Chains A and B, each alone.
Chain A
């Protein structure tokens, strides 16, 4: 039930209208960082207040909301945000990617391909991809305006010079429709190809930095690279130890103090769905709780 003490989805209508205008502008200019007047939310910045505000501005009563944190629906962060909207907007929630109409995410894109009609909202800590080498805000704005993006390749050059390869594995910079260079938020670069030509709307919200940017459906998104060091969407060279998936992004989990490790899908819904269909990984035991 909606808590009557709040407006629908917590924010007042005027604030939501302001955020929607920023979102529409972002959709009209894919990859461009639109400033917006970020509001205080009843949670710390590290919890993705930018994403929460974008979600609040887009939610309608008919929505079914999924919230994931590093791919998982059950972390404190994901659970709190889901509860927050269940209480302030009264919307249905789900852990199933296929059932969700709106997904707020931190650090992942679900394994199940997005569908038309879905909205994926990313929580963004640092929206400016040029920040690493150029701290002056006025200068980075100018660089975007004039498409002076050589500096992004300096960053990749430094990576190769130091590590022999492009070591950037999260927040890997992309170019949107051949125009704006964009930080895709700290998703693993494994997820970068999913950004491109997605049927879903992808929205990015940075609360502390007060920026919103967007990828409308079917937007072409390319990961930056060098001709002789092409982009590769890498993952751990294992299968999931629970569901045997060979093509999903894996987390490494320490399972005992003898250095025992296992690799499991970071997308908990994807992994559970496969197990429900009878896929069994190397370490899958029907009652994993019993092992604890």
Chain B
């Protein structure tokens, strides 16, 4: 079954978000955000700096508590869950790829240990098998297996980001949150990482929510697109539709400014 077939075949959303609002004192982080994410779907979130993308993502992933709204994962109320259950979910079903790989990696631990951590966190106790899986995943993200015992500090930025991705995907999560995964990388490195991500998302049938301010990332990866401004969602729809025929003045500006670059 292809991803699109699966999207069509399922009518139950994996993630259902309603009226999500987060304020920082008087300032709005994000406001009244609602959407459904279906299994195998990639949702892009774009918007200028300060528009609330990271705030929204961290509320969805349970890293921050929203002030209002509901988040249901497979019908389960995420905000009503106990912390144990929510943290378990974020070690098993969910994954979070940070913009800065330093925030998502253990810099003092070898590449193999970084990839193996999630396996050990869910109870893997066979060194040989953990190492085998780590080696396999390094290969999948195009890191030479002979670097398995090196620390991430000895890796380039692009390698660190690929390592972070391997570390997150090794336990076969279903839902991956990514906050600017290609930010801070050279253009050529970005392109390669995007290619890799696209392959993994397709092969593993991942559901992804990806924050970016790079419309090229969105065009390549996202099935659907959400545009944010000042905390609010100002437009959402199928990616091609939004980009080719932007309705909101802000989206039009965003699209045209990219084309001018």
Q: Beta-carbon contacts of B107-150 to A below 8 Å, as 1s and 0s?
A: 01110110011101110111110110000000000000000110
Please give the distance in Å from B109's CB to the nearest CB on chain A: 6
Taking a contact as CB atoms closer than 8 A, the residue among A153, A160, A161, A229 that contacts B120 in the complex is: A153
What bracket does the count of chain A residues touching chain B fall in?
A: 10 to 19
Q: Which residues in window 70-111 of A have CB below 8 A to B?
A: none
- Residues of B within 8 Å of A60, CB to CB, are none
Whether A158 contacts B126 in the complex (CB less than 8 A), given A148-B87, A148-B121, comes out as no
CA distance A24 to B120 in the complex (A): 33
Q: Is the interface of B mostly helix, strand, loop or mixed?
A: helix
The chain A residue sitting closest to B112, CB to CB, is: A161
CA distance A229 to B124 in the complex (A): 13
Contact (Cβ within 8 A) B116 A160: no
Contact (Cβ within 8 A) B113 A158: yes
- Residues of B within 8 Å of A157, CB to CB, are 112-113, 116, 120, 127, 130-131
Residue B84, interface by CB 8 Å:
yes
Residue B106, interface by CB 8 Å:
yes
- Residues of B within 8 Å of A229, CB to CB, are 127
Contact (Cβ within 8 A) B125 A153: yes
Contact (Cβ within 8 A) B120 A150: yes
Whether A161 contacts B125 in the complex (CB less than 8 A), given A146-B84, A153-B120, A154-B120, comes out as no
CA distance A153 to B131 in the complex (A): 12
- Residues of A within 8 Å of B112, CB to CB, are 157, 161
Contact (Cβ within 8 A) A162 B126: no
Contact (Cβ within 8 A) A146 B83: yes
- Residues of A within 8 Å of B148, CB to CB, are 161
- Residues of A within 8 Å of B116, CB to CB, are 154, 157
- Residues of A within 8 Å of B124, CB to CB, are 153
Please give the distance in Å from B164's CB to the nearest CB on chain A: 16
Given A150-B91, A226-B125, A227-B125, 10 more pairs with CB closer than 8 A:
A133-B106, A148-B87, A148-B91, A150-B118, A153-B124, A154-B109, A154-B113, A157-B127, A158-B113, A162-B110
A-B contacts, 6 of them at CB < 8 A, read A146-B83, A153-B124, A154-B120, A157-B127, A161-B131, A226-B127
Interface residues of A (CB under 8 A from B): 133, 146, 148, 150-151, 153-154, 157-158, 160-162, 226-229
